[in-house]
Amino acid sequence: MNQLNSHMNILPIIMCGGSGTRLWPLSRAQFPKQFIPLVNDTSMMQDTLARLPSNHQAPVFICNEDHRFLVAEQVKQVQCNDATILLEPEGRNTAPAVALAALNALAENKEALLLVLAADHVIENVDKFHQAIDLATVSAKQGKLVTFGIVPTHAETGYGYIKQGAALDNVYEVAQFVEKPDKDTAQQYLASGEYLWNSGMFLFKASRYLEELEKSRPDILASCRKSMANIEKDLDFTRPDREAFLTCADESIDYAVMEKTEDAVVVPLDAGWSDVGSYSALWEVCEQDTQQNVLKGDVIAHDTANSYIHSQNKLVATLGVNNLVVIDTPDAVLIADKDKVQNVKDIVNELKEQQRSEVNLHREVYRPWGKFDSVDNGERFQVKRITVNPGAKLSVQMHHHRAEHWIIVSGTAKVTLDGKTVLLSENQSTYIPVGVVHALENPGKLPLEMIEVQSGSYLGEDDIVRFEDKYGRT
């Protein structure tokens, strides 16, 4: 069969959940690793989109409410204008998420093949990836539920494994799914040649997945059916019914379906795969210099080896160090032994306990209308540099505890205060007292840049009362 035609029913389902805590401080809850250009100049989600086989159907992205505008913006950046963005009302793991996607797909195409991918993986050899998809497609069309098993390169304890069973025309029966092993067990798996890493990538008919879910977890399928029976279209987003979905159990595809079905098969994949689950893994997949260093940003490294050094906004210099990870961001610095980076999550947990903002947000925060950078703050003031995209508008809002002073740096601002509208341009300013209803819009063709000085007794982002918002926020 012609390869182009073989991909015509493939519907990519790109899972955009996950917080990437082991890559803090680059990755944070509100801006996790899948949306960051870690390996090249595009984000990992955009890389996932770029390596899809040709002639596939318009992809479906599954994400949460907090990340929806990030997904929408990054999809538009790569001119993928026909994508569907399916919003999970709340995280319930992969089995319910894929059930939502399958139900959505069957409404359009009864023969849809779901290619389920994570948005935060690296695959270096795209040709081999496409060859594996071609093999999987043959089996999926025969009703098999295919998973992709990574040919292991070392005894890894951070992944689950799949034991290969009998060979079936270039694919293998799944003999067993096994949990993350200890070091000795992982060595035995590697030596046997019978085990593959569990990648969490799948290919199957949407109809077959739902049939197997009906057998093993009918409760999950029932909740998802109810949720999809009452979907709401909102801008670029498809929003399933929240109340119905919240009755759904939290379960992975592996537990809910793949470990129970008699039709699970695995395609071995040897294509330079990584889930980039730590800075050591990121170091491995990035291009290294002659001293085995990966240097990102403004870095000078003398007598330095085997290290990953990343600077976002200032000069970082190292001297006489080995096997280090150094991450500089505008509001946090991480210095770690490269062999200990799996434990970065312990720092994240401590930040959560202390309710530190650095666990969730970068200093630069993206919004559907643009972004802001918190330049400075004190006990009763805060200074932000705000960028509003052309044609974008902030919500009509007011604040109970803070006043604001806006100074236009470049572009044109359409400002509304208590129903009165004025246009402001470079070097002009305005003052918004506490309690005044106001709105800000960029009516021009160029980005609007401005400085906002906030003052008052409370300066939290939750001191916003929205009266009207074009992006559907409450």
Residue 474 placed within a domain: no
Residue 70 placed within a domain: yes
Q: Is residue 444 domain-shared with residue 326, that is, in the same domain? A: no
Structural domain for 18, as ranges: 3-274
Mean pLDDT of the chain: 93
Q: Is residue 175 domain-shared with residue 47, that is, in the same domain? A: yes
Instruction: Give the mean model confidence (pLDDT) for residues 245-253.
Output: 94
Q: Is residue 300 domain-shared with residue 380, that is, in the same domain? A: no
Q: Is residue 71 domain-shared with residue 200, that is, in the same domain? A: yes
Q: Is residue 315 domain-shared with residue 267, that is, in the same domain? A: no
Q: Last residue of some domain: 274, 302, 317?
A: 274
Q: How confident is the model at residue 367 (pLDDT cuts 50, 70, 90)?
A: confident
Q: Is residue 323 domain-shared with residue 205, that is, in the same domain? A: no
What pLDDT sits at residue 333?
Answer: 97
Instruction: Give the mean model confidence (pLDDT) for residues 305-327.
Output: 97
What pLDDT digit, counting tens, does each position of 37-82 carry?
A: 999 999 999 999 999 998 899 999 999 988 988 999 899 999 888 8
Instruction: Give the mean model confidence (pLDDT) for residues 311-339.
Output: 96
Q: Is residue 382 domain-shared with residue 289, that is, in the same domain? A: no
What pLDDT digit, counting tens, does each position of 416-427 carry?
A: 998 899 999 999
Instruction: Give the mean model confidence (pLDDT) for residues 89-118.
Output: 94
Instruction: Give the mean model confidence (pLDDT) for residues 302-324.
Output: 97
Residue 67 placed within a domain: yes
89: cis peptide before it, omega within 30°?
no
What pLDDT sits at residue 1?
Answer: 44
Q: Is residue 123 domain-shared with residue 266, that is, in the same domain? A: yes
Provide the residue type at 353 as one letter. E
The answer to whether residue 5 scores a pLDDT higher than 60 is no
Q: Is residue 334 domain-shared with residue 371, that is, in the same domain? A: no
SS3 annotation, the chain: CCHHHHCCCEEEEEECCCCCHHHCCCCECCECHHHCCCCCCCCHHHHHHHCCCCCCCCCEEEEEHHHHHHHHHHHHHCCCCCCEEEEECCCCCHHHHHHHHHHHHHCCCCCCEEEEEECCCEECCHHHHHHHHHHHHHHHHCCCEEEEEECCCCCCCCCCEEEEEEEECCEEEEEEEECCCCHHHHHHHHHHCCEEEEEEEEEEEHHHHHHHHHHHCHHHHHHHHHHHCCCEEECCEEECCHHHHCCCCCCCHHHHHHCCCCCEEEEEECCCEECCCCHHHHHHHCCCCCCCCEEECCEEEEEEECCEEEECCCCEEEEEEECEEEEEECCEEEEEEHHHHHHHHHHHHHHHHCCCHHHCCCCEEEECCEEEEEEEECCCEEEEEEEECCCCECCEEECCCEEEEEEEEECCEEEEECCEEEEECCCCEEEECCCCCEEEECCCCCCEEEEEEEEECCCCCCCCEEEECCCCCC
CATH number at residue 119: 3.90.550.10
* Total domains present in the chain: 3
The percent of residues above 70 in pLDDT, for the chain, comes to 98
Q: What is the DSSP code string of 440-452?
A: EE--SSS-EEEEE
Q: Is residue 342 domain-shared with residue 200, that is, in the same domain? A: no
What pLDDT digit, counting tens, does each position of 432-466 carry?
A: 999 999 999 999 999 999 999 999 999 988 899 99
Residue 473 placed within a domain: no
The answer to whether residue 4 scores a pLDDT higher than 80 is no
Q: Residue written as tokens 């009906």?
A: 214
Residue 313 placed within a domain: yes
* Global pTM value: 0.89
What pLDDT digit, counting tens, does each position of 210-228 carry?
A: 999 999 999 999 999 999 9
Q: How confident is the model at residue 246 (pLDDT cuts 50, 70, 90)?
A: very high
What pLDDT sits at residue 313?
Answer: 86
Q: Last residue of some domain: 321, 352, 383?
A: 352
What pLDDT sits at residue 470?
Answer: 81
Note whether 300 and 270 are within 8 A (CB). no
Provide the residue type at 155 as one letter. A
Residue 175 backbone class (left: φ over 0; alpha: ψ -120 to 50; beta: rest): alpha
Instruction: Give the mean model confidence (pLDDT) for residues 97-113.
Output: 94
Residue 357 placed within a domain: no
The answer to whether residue 303 scores a pLDDT higher than 60 is yes
Residue 248 placed within a domain: yes
Whole-number Å distance between alpha carbons of 256 and 92:
12
Instruction: Give the mean model confidence (pLDDT) for residues 287-313.
Output: 97
Give the other-Cβ count within 10 Å of 467's Cβ. Answer: 10
Residue 461 placed within a domain: yes
The answer to whether residue 170 scores a pLDDT higher than 90 is no
Q: Is residue 438 domain-shared with residue 411, that is, in the same domain? A: yes
Q: Is residue 60 domain-shared with residue 189, that is, in the same domain? A: yes
What pLDDT sits at residue 431?
Answer: 97
Q: Last residue of some domain: 243, 274, 305?
A: 274
Q: Which two tokens stand for residue 367?
A: 């919004």
Give the other-Cβ count within 10 Å of 282's Cβ. Answer: 24
Instruction: Give the mean model confidence (pLDDT) for residues 374-392.
Output: 93
